[in-house]
Structures are given as structure tokens and as C-alpha cells.
Structure 1
Amino acid sequence: MELRRSMAEFDPDATQAASIRAVGHGIVAELDAAGFADAEEVGRGGFGVVYRCLQRSLGRIVAIKVLTSDLDSENRERFLREGYAMGGLSGHPNIVNILQVGVTETGRPYIVMHYHPRDSLAVQIRREGPLPWPEAISIGVKLAGALETAHRTGTLHRDIKPANVLLTDYGEPQLTDFGIAHIAGGYETATGGFTGSLAFTAPEVLNGESPTARSDVYGLGATIFSLIAGRAAFERKTGEELVAQFVRISTQTVPDLRAQGIPDGVCAVIERAMASNPFARPASAEEFGHELQAAQRHIGLRSDAMALAPLEPAQPAESHPSAADTGGYRQIRFADSDGQRRFFAPTEQIQPESHPSGPFWPPTGPSPWPPPGVPGHSGPARTRRRGILIALALVVTLVLAGGGYLVYREASGPGTAGPTAQEASEPPAVDPTAAWRPVADARVARQQTATTVADGTIWVFGGLDDNGVSARQEGFDPAIDTWKAGPDLPVPLNHAMAVTYNDEPVVIGGWQAKGQNLTAVASARVMAMRDGRWVDLPALNVPRAAGAAAVVGDKIVVAGGQADGALVAPTEMFDGTKWTTVPNIPTPREHLAGVSDGTYFYAIGGRDLASDQNTAAVERFDPVAGTWATLPGMPTPRGGLGATFIDGRIVAVGGEEPTRVLSTVEAYDVVAGTWSQLPALRTPRHGMAVGAVGNTVYAVGGGIKPTHAESTAVSEALQVAPRKTQWAPAWRPLRDAPIARQQTATAVADGTIWVFGGLDNVGSTPKVEGNDPAIDTWKAGPDLPIPLNHAMAVEYGGELVVLGGWVPDGPNLTGKTSDRVLALRDGNWVDLPPLNLPRAAGAAAVVGNEIVVAGGQADGELVASAEVFDGTKWTTVADIPTSREHLAGVSDGTYFYAIGGRDLASDQNTAAVERFDPAAGTWATLPSMPTPRGGLGAAFIDGRIVAVGGEQPTRVLSTVEAYDVASATWSTLPPMPTGAHGMSVATVGHTVYAIGGALRPTHAESTATAQALDFW
């Protein structure tokens, strides 16, 4: 059984939970009085409840964590500390921000946070399966920056896991739930004893030792492993005792991911973070993050930026534990150029000027530092044996007593948010918004600069300031909204280009002034910033200014521009050694913008030497083929624009016309081939610096009048909503299933699509088979105890569960309607509590921690009742509004959706779509499908319900339609090459799969065909 269930069953204080429920109504009234309306419970734990509320004063939706039980003053204070102590983490883009900490009129503490409707990474994995490994590593880099920021304030998280990483509306990960954190100053936000989740807890902590920064690194490594694998490295096995799980975590090596095609370098970084010996791990979260970045670069990926807090002054910080606690040793922190370091030394040896140095400090392998008895050191065998005894005692205590705070940690519900805070003295983070927001202005007003992004910093070079041509180099760090200076260019330049190549900023071409002539000489010079100084690289073949440059793979591409009053048509490409002239740009122009998506170079807009000759041209260069292609033009022709590439889109910003400058911002989706409008700039301009960091576009400086008059230092940012994936133009064929069958049950677990029972071309079957889409291979699972058809299936609590269906009686395929619920546990099928009502041809899905079942038929009659399973019992809830069978059901993690179906015959198909809210126990009617149909399959992907196939009286359908939950609109997708009904439909990653089904109406002609539709 699960740890949570074990603790619930042995909880000695069941009255506490009852007390919490009893005061729920009172809490809603208290929150309303405090200015938070429409409170709706979205999560519950041992000591607290999380509500979704409308904050009246600002008209926004927030999450509020409320202390519900009447605890003593110590626990009330501890609850408030969870909010107050996170003030030092304010503003980090990958830590959830606290908006307010308060107490109601009756003295009940509460913490106000951003509301996260997309829920946590744990929910996403459960809903969509494992993440692509590049995405998981990207998340890991960002969380490493968040964790290091916490560590630098003296805060250990101690419970890092996918459930404690929430996703913003724009898909950014945010670390949350510091409810059991250790805060600098010696106090903790949770009661003493074991804290955290076993599967993500470092072995030394399970061994009874105090957590350290390296313990948090282990938790982050274990989290990244689970994102890639879709499961914890040491998840609890069914029926396994807690002691046995502890022994596995403490003694076994990390499971090898290389068999899944994960690069060796990535696996090695994760394995190092999860080393059983803490001193074999990276010494800090920052070090771990840089190792992840290096792995990204090594395999050709663009390394994600780490948002790190600024270093403290280089001075000793408060030690913890004290010298007395460590047998005469103290732990000392130093801040230096490499970041904050910690080391131990005998008390009498500590001097304020002591400063360990060298690239291998602190030691990464087995070391006498810290000495025995200091947290993080296993000590002699006697100490280790004592630790094991303590750990075993803790395990027993967990089972028998079930510390309330740990139940709370495991019981966080969908949509809950965890704490951080934002101090008024710090600049606000750029929140998801429908408009640009101001950020710190540049130090100098200038335009016609060169711009590139390196390690999360937007670097701006040269340009025209109010005194003429500039050689200044300055960088903007969005994570802390701060500017910094870099070495000036060797010569003043304007209208130059810049890229980051091999981790070095490179400035290319531009104009060198001569006296008052700002465009005196078009330069061919190429300069790289190396080891803090500018060095020359091979020069361009053709001098140019006001051109465009970007890095594609391992090459720099330069196109467009002008020299000596004429347009430059040749394109050039640099391979690290020499420049090669390649085919001319199709539309020669200057004052254009250039970006790269990693595969192609894109030239956007520009003009023919004057702003009354602007162009909307967008052209794409393929460095491999050496060819140009013409793409759909911008809606607004313009030169003097800036552009950047972000999340599959080219974002074109600002520009110049003869009598005005533009605030226009437009985005081109490179997959869909379509343009869309984005919010306009607050300050219209041209010739500005434009760059993207994370999911935010930044616009810096520029000219606010036509030509080169009146430069500005104004900077602003736009956080771009995640790109909605687009579907491929056609389905692709897969390897056929081993058996042709229809009316199967389907569920996804650990990235495998499992197909249960159904009707083959002989009759009903008990066969269970799984398809691994990553390698397009089938494997067999244990047969069902009985043949079943028209059953339902879900993945629940880490187990495959099959529900209901028809059990044949001789040739009668619908001989008996089943109420049986079967779970696959340790390779065997076991019975769970049966349904309240037998049903077949219904729909089921998991919402949060509950299974929802609706629709179906029994004994020739429709079943109207819906049922919900909470892990212990089935509860009958509100009837489905439109009774039907042969319907489909999906979940988005918050709601259950019933799609289509029929009234016992295919000439009575329905287009109904209805949504059930398990929290409220209510149904809602949504816009109907364009095509009424029963016998369809459905899957949920990227905010959409995809309805596939179906049956009509005289034909089967290849129709595929998608419902966008956010916009409440339907669209038509490419039809299946092979129409079918009664098929298995599922989502794994970014692909919808359709397997098997029937090729003719009724139950004739089953097929083994498998096909897939990719979303990009």
C-alpha cells in the first residue's frame, strides 16, 4: 500500500480530520471578510487547507493556505514562518511567490499565493507520461537556480519532488512548498522527526543524519530522473514494507536510463547528483545546474539560463551547527567569484580572512571533511549503525503515528500553490500578462545597438547615444533586474550585429564613424569576447552594416545589410575557421532582423535603404542545403525592427516608417506558418535591442523618433504565453498490434499504452498487451482473469486498473455485465471494491486522486449514475446529464469530460460533451462536437480533447476533432488514414495514438492497425 494510505489507516487522531472538515464553512466566511471571495477548496492536508479565491482588491484569482485546526501557539507560529521566512527568495522566476501573509479576524493564520491551475509536474507526468529528456534537463537547470537561491539565504528545502514543482500558466516550473524547510537561524517550519518523501530523500537523511545542501541536490536529481522515466528511481513497490524501501534507497545504484536512449552525459550528471555518498555529489545546487548546462551544450542543445541570487559580501556567515555541536568544528560560508562555498575547520583555525580556493574546493570525493559527527559525514561504523537504528525507528514511527505534517505533504491537491514571498524592496518579477511591463532602464540611452544573449544575460554593444557612436558594452540580468558593465569594444560601432558563438559574445560588422559622419566606414571586422578581452576572428568577406546575424548549429550566418550606400546581397557563413559566401538573400535589404531556431536562419523585414521602402519579407536559409525559401510575409512591413525566437515563434518588435516609429509586435509560428498579433510596446521605437530569456521577450533602448533622433533608455518585457502545439498534417503508420481487436480497454502507464481484452475476430479475449511508442514495440502482460469486452481502464496509484465490461456467455458476447474492478499488482490481477452498478461501454478517467466512471449500459438499459472511487470505496454521485453508452472519457487533472456516445444504437448518436467537477459534485454542459458519434475514442493533449473515429449506422468514421478547453472551441484535425470505431486511443508525450478497432459497423472486422498523430 502507499505511504499515505498506511499512515491514514493507523492515524491515531482521526478526530482532527473531522474537526478540519467541520470548520470549513467558517473559514470561507472568514476569508470573505478578509477580502477573498468565492473560496473553493482545492487541496487538504493534516494541518491546512488550500482554497481558490477571488482577491477582490485586485480582481485576481489566488490560492490561500489556511491553518484549519486549533493548534497551540508554537504550531501557529510555525505556520506563519513558512510565509515570512521565504522573503529572501522574493522575485525568483522559478520559486512561487507569496503575495500576502495574514491572520483573519478570529486569529486564523493564512498565506496568499499565486494560483496554479496547471498543477504540478507530478500531475503532468501522471496525466501525460514522461517528459522528453531535453525538457526535463531544462527544468532541472531552472530549479537548480531556484534551489541555490534558497541555499544562499540559509534555507534547505528538504522535500524536493515533482509534486512540489508547480507549473505557471506559461509552463515555467516553480519550486514550492517550503513547509518542512530548515530556515537559517535555527528554526524549522515543520515539527521535528523525519520530513520529506522517501523516494526522493537522500540516503544519508534516511540514515538519520541531518539534511545538507547536498541532500537537496539529491532530491533535485531524483526529481529529474522521475521526469524522464515517468516514475521515481526508488518508488515504493506494491506490498513492499517501508524498511525494504529504505534499504533499496540506501544501498542500490540509480537505475540506468541509457537503455531508453538518454545520452550518457545526461545520465552521468543525474547519477552523480544521486550518489549514495553525499561527497560524490555536486557540492551545491549551482554546481549541479552548471553540470546540467554543460550536458546540454555537449549534446548540441542551447543551455538554459540559471537565475541566481547575487552573491553576499565575502564574509563568514553564522555557523550552524555551533562549534560545541560539532566537537570543536564549525561550518563556515564564504562568498567568492565562484559562488558561496561551505567548509569545516577546527574552531581555533578559523580566521576571517580564510578563503579556500581552487577549482576542486570543496572536495567532491570521499574526504575527511567534514569530520565525524558533523552533519553530512557518515562517521565511523558505530555512528552509521546508530543511524540505521534511528532510521528504522523512524520508519516504524511513520507507520504507527503518521506525523500529520507528512500526511499534509502527501495530500496536496490539484491547483495548490506553495510558499515563497516577495519583499517590497525588490523589483517585481514579470508575471504572465496581456501587456508589456517596465523593467530596469538601461544605464545609457542609445539605439542601433548590437545584441545577443549569453548565460541568461542580454548584452548590448555599441550603438548611437546622445553623444554619437558608442563603444559601451552593458548586460541586463533579468533574474535580478540589474544592469552590469562589460569591457568596451576596441572601436566605437553602430548598426553592428552580435551573436553568441561557442559561449562567446561575437560582434560583427557595423559602421565606424569618422568625425560627424556616423556611417563613414562599413566594417568587416569580427570580434569575440574571450577571457575578459576582445580578440579578432577572421573578417567578413564583405563589409556590411545594418545586417542580420544568428547562430545555426555550429555556424554563424550573416545576411543583408548595406555598404557604401548600396545593399549587400551575398550571404556569408562562418564555421569557426573561415567565412564562406553562400547564395544571395532573395530580397536584398538592410535594417532587417535575423533569428535562428537551431535548424534555419530567418531574415525578417527590413528596407531598401529608406523607411519608405520597407518590406514585409520573411525568408529562411538552410545552411545544410545552402538554399533560401520564402515564408509568409509579416502583416506589417517595416525596417528598423528587432526580433527574437521564443518557444517555436519568431517575435518581431517595433520598427520605423517615414513619419513615425511603431509599437507593433507580431509573432510567426514556424510550424503552423501563421502570424498573430501580440501586445504592443508601451514605448514605440526602432533600432532597439531585443532578446529572449526563458519565456520572456525584452526590448531595450532604441530611437523614439524616425531616423536617428532621440534615443531612449526605456526597457520593457513581455512574458509570452506558451505556444499551443500544432498537429502534423497527417497521421503516420505504426507497427500493427499483435492481435486484431476492438472494444478494448486502454490505459497508459510508464509511457506504455496498455490494451486490455476486447473482441478479436474469434470472440472476447483476456489478452493484455502494451505498446512502447518510444521504440514502436509490443510486449505481453498478464492475461485478465476472465475475457472482457467493452470494459474501461485507468492508471491509478501506480497500478493498471480495469473496470466493468461484458463477460461473454458462450456465443453471447454480452452475457453478463460486470461490476468487477481489477488491479494489476506485482504481476497479478487482484480485486478492488466493485462498482456500485455493473456497466459496460462506459467511460472512466482519473481526476486528482479519484477514479470517475460515467455512462454505459447494463441489461439493455442506460446507466445514468456516475461513480467516484477514492481508493477505499465507490460513491454514487450526480447522474450524467445525457445518459448514453459507447462514449469516451478523459481528464485534464481537474475535471472529467464525457464525450459523445449513443442511446443504445448508432442511429441514436449524440454530440454531447459534459464536464464533471469531483470537488463540487456537479456536471456542466460544454459546446457539442461538430460530428455526433458513438464508439469513438478520445485523449487529452496540450489543453485539448481529441475525439477520434466512431460509428454511424452504415459506416465507420475517420473523423478527428479537437476541443480547446481554454477557448471552448472545436477544430478539425487530419482524418485517420484508416477509419475505425471501438479502438484504443491514448496520449503519450506529444502524440495521440489510435490502435485497433473495427473497420465496419457493429462488431465486424477487427483490425490490428496502429497509427499516430504528432503535435509539434
Structure 2
Amino acid sequence: MLLRLTLLTFLLLTAMPLSAGDFKRPMPFPNLPEGISSFGAAVAGDHLYVFGGHVGRIPGNSQDSLSPHFVRLNLKTPDAAWETLPMQNSSQSPAILAWEGKIYRVGGLSFDNRQGEATVYHSLDEFSRFDPETKSWTNLPSLPKPRSSLDAAVVDGKVYVVGGWNLQGTNVMEAPWHEDALVYNLASDKGEWKPIAKPPFVKRALAVAAHDHKVWVLGGMTQSNQITSLVHAYDPKTDTWTEGPAVKGKSQFAAFALSAFGCGGKLCYTGSDGILYTLDEGKSEWVPEERLLYPRSFLRLVADEGSTLFAVAGISRSAYVPTVEAIDLAADKHAVPKLSEWPVPFAGKVVQGQIPFLTGNSLYAFGGNNSRNPHDFSKEAIVDEAYRFDLATRAVEKLPPLPSAVQSGAAFLAGERIDQSIYVLGGIANPGEKYQSADTIFRYRLRSKGWTDEVGHLPGPRSMFSVVSQGEAAWIFGGSQVTGHGGGLIAETWKWSGSPETPAEVVTEAAIPTRRRSFGAAVLNGKFYAVGGLGEESTIVDAVDVYDFEAKAWAKGTSPKVARVFPSLAVAGGKLYLSGGFAKVDGHFQKVDSVEAFDPQSNAWTVAFEKLPFDAASRTMVEYQDRLLFYGLDPEKEGIAHIALLDPAPESRDYGVEPAGGMDRGNTRSAGSELVARLMRMDRNGDGQLTKDEVGERFRPLIERADANKDGFATKEEIEASAATESPPAGPFTTDGSGDRSPERMAARALEEHDANKDGKLDRSELEAYFQSRAAERPMRRGGGGSREGNGPPREGTTGTAPASPPATAPR
């Protein structure tokens, strides 16, 4: 009966459009003083306490990289600011616990060096108590031995400490791991640390939580540097350990640097997957409850005395997060969409017309217009400003200006992993006499944070078009060519590899059937959707055109309920979401408040939201980690951007969608496969094989070696075979003998084995330890050894989304 009611509730929620008030707002709290990882946190009374940690603003490991903050927040008045408390010997990876209104601190990691000096590690044996009433610390009996990368929990008035190692000096490899677990009776005035039954494991970077009068230990890393998903429970009554259900997760890293806590009679955990799991009543399986707005590792999951959990800070997509997110386990509203909004002040004049682009945690905004008049395209109005909005830290960075002012263009990501670039294509410019569509290609390099001197060119001027990444190339659809006060719509579709060596080509069969500009565009299941926009004679296009990249053919799609111009189209949860824009009512343009969703399974559009709590018509919507991100500039105040993150389906059982392929998957390809992809982008005539003339002088020797049958051509299969034979032999970088020495494999192993403080970075001493270990593994040749499989969280530059322009970006 309960299952039927739950299913009925879910069907009603998904069938009925939601209004502006039907949202959960799990992040009403102010940001922490700064983003941190590997810190301690606890809830005592009405306050959330956060202690120490590693800060993202200081590279490496040193006393300077430790957070100087010990703060608390009154959860009953979340609008209040964080209160600064007396700090006691800042450290990272301490266990912070609450019992009977007081805060306890156990162990942790410090450093004996300053920034720029060789790292000298110092695990701590400290155990102390903080009294919130007197705001003072009291030292308690020290741990028998220093311990960091540990975790702890309080069960029935006793502290249990599990896991970790004793890291001292400069040599990480010689650090002893703790094989024992300890208990301390908080109720005793003359307490002492005592050993409990020896755990059936030795690991660190684990999660420890109290539940059902037992100590639960989840995940972590073993002495062999393997991430383990094993779960064990310790029963203080019998002094015995038993094995529980293994940690779940899509990624190998799901069981690493996670956090767990008992709340409302449930045992919960979450980690890099961003899914909150609870242990079922039979204690045999982990059940996914809902998704967090931000997935995070190196976080702390804590709870109040009721049924509310708090996911605090941590690392999300390699960025240090300063936010706190609440999850109410008793609300039984996991299907209710989640929403978080925040303003970001920035020092600029632009008010509309930007070219936004999302990659990783960074939302870039290029160019634009400083006039609120939608028809003002004067030279003075179009700007060269550029910004990067950090979605994790909620900060903004002003970038070097564009090579020249432009608006209403598009952008996409290309290049090898180690040096990727954002290319800003076309748009509207005004060189001095009159405004016109541009044919320029500007290149912004992510690594050097600067524009290159060279400027490329499209086959022709183009603006108000859409670009998507597919099959290792950028596909450019629709748009118009504006000249002064005239111009026409463009049907021709272009395909560009992103390589300066190869010009864009015309894809004849992909010419868009319904000419349009300022439309919504997205790729779903290998198909490009063009929705809405302005067509011939300035009419709003009702028809939906769908291009199948594999079949190389167009088809008509189902039209949405409301035809609109300047909409945004994005993919989340396997559906298309259509937001914003304007419809024509009684001959006049009128904002559209509703958000529609297209389900490819039913081939139908439904109204997902009647109205959002903000002006969706004036904001660009893009996909962000399988969520919907809205970005726009303040309609009245200069220098204010507004960002909103919406999860339309937090009850989903997966976090995110694996990229379908193409340049989005830079972090999953080996170096050999990336070289093959780069070469095949030079296939100018699209016949699936390369000649020496097509690739140029640099790659001619490679083509000659790959041309097995010596017919003067090298096919993709021949190039792949050649790349495989030229790969290095099996070495210390893989366990499968593949010899894949790609940067992502090497980086994964280096971080797993030598990132001692787990801040996601390697300092000088850690790198030295890494290379020393590699040298020891290959005394005679490159063989043997073994690395960990899997990739870390996506980093900036590995995925990209080119959003449609917001409504005020082009003439109407």
C-alpha cells in the first residue's frame, strides 16, 4: 500500500506543472568564509561548527594552506553570519564531534613548513574539548600515537576512533598505517584511550558514523592504495566486527573521501556521486534517497537532533566549495525540485548580449552590449568584456578583454587536454561605420588565461546561430548574416574541427530545413534539436527540426506548446527542457513564463513549470551536472549577474549523464586515441582516410608508417593500429598491461598514492615521492607495478556547453 501511495504521489508531482512556490531551497545558508576540504564539522544545539581544513586559495601543503577558521552558524537563523570562534592549532582531516553540548577534536594533520618550503608533515595526537558557553578549549588525554586521515563517532557517550596513519617528516611512503581502533569514555573524568577489537581492515580517508548503537565504517583507501567499498560495523556490546553492504556508486571514487552520519534513525552517506544513500531496515542494502545540488567529496555530513542532514563544504569538480546544503529526511518530498539562487556582483558595463559558455565549474561570459536598448548596435555599445563565474565558490574573475568587441555569437571548447581553448565564433560587431555579422574566431586558452594573437575566420559572417559539439567537431546551425539594417537567414551548416590547420567545411546534407535565428538548440541521444526562433518575415518558428548525426538526415519533431523566440534548450535527466523567450500575442512580443519538457520516450511536450521564481525569459539556461543552470544580468542594476541552479528531478537514481562522445570526453581518452581523433579531424573530404597532403608536413611521417598497404592513404583503422604498436610497453601506470601512459592515468595514480593531505593537488615533496616510487618500480625496464583504474572528478576543460543567447542579445 505504501509503495502504491508513493508511486501515486510521484505521478501526480510529475504530471502537474509546478508553480513558483513549489521548490525546495536547500541552501539558504551564507557561504563559509572560504572553500575548504578535509576539515571537521559537528552540530551541537542550534549551531553548526566547522573547524580548520585545507583551503583552495593556497597551493601545496604548508601551515599557510590550513584554514585559520573555527566558526559556527545558528541553524535557526540561517540569514545570520558565521561567528568566529577561538581557533586551537588549525589542522586538516581532524575528527570533530559533539556530545552533550560540547565539541570534541581528535587528531588531524598539520605541517612544520611554510608556503614555498619543502613539505614537512605532522600528524597530531591532540584530543581537546571546546565549551560553547565559555568559548574556551580544554586539552584532554592525547591519543596513544599521532593520527590523521582518520574519522570518529560517538556511540552511547564514548568516542570511537578508526583508521588513519601517522604521517611525520618528508617521506610519505614510510608513514605507518594504524591497524588498531580506539575508544574513550567521555563520561569519565579520568578517561583514557583503550583499544577495541582489531578491525578486519587497515585503511584511511574513510567515513565513520554512529547508528543503532554501533560504529559503522564505510569505504576509504587501503595500504595498497586501492579504494575500497567495503563496509564494517562494530558492536561495542560484543566487541566484534561484522561486514555490511558495500558502498554503491557509479565511480570508483564514490567510496573515497565520502562522509556518513546517523540521522532520524537512518544511516546515511554521500560522496563524489552526489547521491544521498540510506541503509535499509534489513541492513542489507544502500537505498538512494535523493541527489544533492552539488556533488562533493572531502565533505562533512552532519545532522541536527531531528531529521535534517547538512552536507558541508568539500570539493566539487576539483573546486573548493564554501556552501552548506540541507536534506530533510522526514519531509518525504524527494520528488520536489530543488532550487538555489545567488547574485554575483562584477565590475563591468555589459547589460545584455553576452556569449556564455559553460565548462566544468566555470561559466564564461564574453562580449555583449552596454545599452539596454535592444536595437543599439553602435560601436560604443558593443563591448569586449570577458568574465569567468565560478559556480562552486560563487565568485567571479575578470578576464583579459576580447581581441575586439562582439556580441550575439557562440563558443565551444576544443584542443588537447593539457592545453584546451574556448573559441568564440562570429557574432555581431561594429568596426566603425555600421554593425554587421562577424566571421572572426577568437581563441582563449584556459591554461594561460589569455587570448592568442592569431585570429581565425569562419567561411562567412554569421550571428545569432547555435553551435554544438558532436563527433570531434563543432557543428554550426542556423543564424543570420546581418549587414547594417538588412541581412538574411542562413540555411548552410558548417562543421569545424577546432584545429587552426583545418578550415570549417560545409555539410551540404545538414542544411537546416527551416531557416531560423535566435532559437533553442541541444543534442539528445545523438540528435540535434532546433526549437523556436525567428524565421522568414520575422515570424516565430513553430516547427521543430531534428538532425540525426548518424543517419545524416533531418526529420520533423513534435512542436512545443508555445512557440517562442530567444528560448534556451538544455538536456537534463534524458529530457529536453525549453525555457524563456518570447511569444507573439496580439501582434506583440510577450515574455513566456513556462518551462516545457520533452520526453523522447513519449514524443510529447509537457509543462514542467508554469512559472519560475525569477524572470526566466531574460536568462540563459544550460545543463550543469544533469541540472539546469540559469544565468542572466540584472535588468535594472549595472554590474550584477544572477545565477540559479535547478534540479527538476532530485529523486533520480543517477547523478549526471555520461557524455555521448566527441570533444566532451577529453578526460576519458588515452593519449593514443586522442592523437587518432586529432588526425581524423584533418580529413577534409570526409572519406574516412588521410593523405600526406591533408595532414601537412608535421604528421606526414606518421601517415607513412600507418599506411600498411602502401596505397597512399591511411584509414582510421590503420592509424589506430599504428598508434597501438608505437605505444610504450606495459609499465607501472596500469594494472591491465595496456601500457596506457596517458596523463589521466598518471595523474590518477599520483593523486591516489601521494596526495597525502587529499587536497586534490601534489606539492613538490609529494611529486618527488611519486617519481622516486616510479623509479624504484623500473630498475631495469618499464614493467611491473600497478596503478588504480578510473578517473577523478571532471575538471574544467573536459566538458563544454555552448548555451543559446539570452533574449536581449540580438535585434528583433
Q: Which has the higher contact order (CA 8 A, sep 6+)?
A: 2
User: Is TM more than 0.5 here?
Assistant: no
TM-score between the two structures when normalised by the length of structure 2: 0.37
TM-score between the two structures when normalised by the length of structure 1: 0.31
Higher helix share: 1
Larger Rg: 1
